[in-house]
Amino acid sequence: MKQCHLSLKITHWVSFELALEPNCEFWYDTHDPLAVTLVFDTYGKRPARWVFSRDLLAEGMTARAGEGDVVLWPLYDLDDEPSAFSVRVGGARTALFEIPTGPVAQWLDATYAMVPRGAELDRVDWNELLQPAE
């Protein structure tokens, strides 16, 4: 089992006028190769943990992606290049974050080096999963 980790400062848009800069962490574990974990406000009293598809993260950095509790979309700079992406999480109560694209794209590439896209289920022991619970 291998893991890949990224820690960085992001922007939490509390309102149009108020932005905070909490730390967040991205985690990838080959034991759960389809998912990424994103932890917001890692140094705060109540960090929030969201687990969602690695493919959703990759898609949301370049185009609007997701429904329901996790939605992502790219943000462009003056040269029309994706410089950051937004993540909206939550159901009835939502939170909006802005995350720089560069470090996350490099981290995501490292996860694909560990488990290539499309090969996530190659290592699953289906016989073990199909055994009845004792």
- In a domain, residue 130? The reply is no
* CATH number of the CATH domain containing 44: 2.30.31.20
Summarised one tens digit per residue, pLDDT across range 16-30 is 899 989 999 999 999
Q: How far apart are CA 40 and CA 50, in angstroms?
A: 8
Split into its structural domains, the chain has a count of 1
- In a domain, residue 84? The reply is yes
| Residue 72 near residue 65, CB atoms below 8 Å | yes
User: Which among 50, 55, 49, 60 has a CA at the least distance from the CA of 111?
Assistant: 55
- In a domain, residue 125? The reply is no
- In a domain, residue 98? The reply is yes
- In a domain, residue 17? The reply is yes
Summarised one tens digit per residue, pLDDT across range 46-98 is 888 999 999 999 999 999 999 889 999 999 988 888 899 999 998 778 899 99
- In a domain, residue 120? The reply is no
DSSP state of 101: H
Domain that holds residue 17: 3-115
Q: How far apart are CA 94 and CA 30, in angstroms?
A: 29
pTM listed for this prediction: 0.85
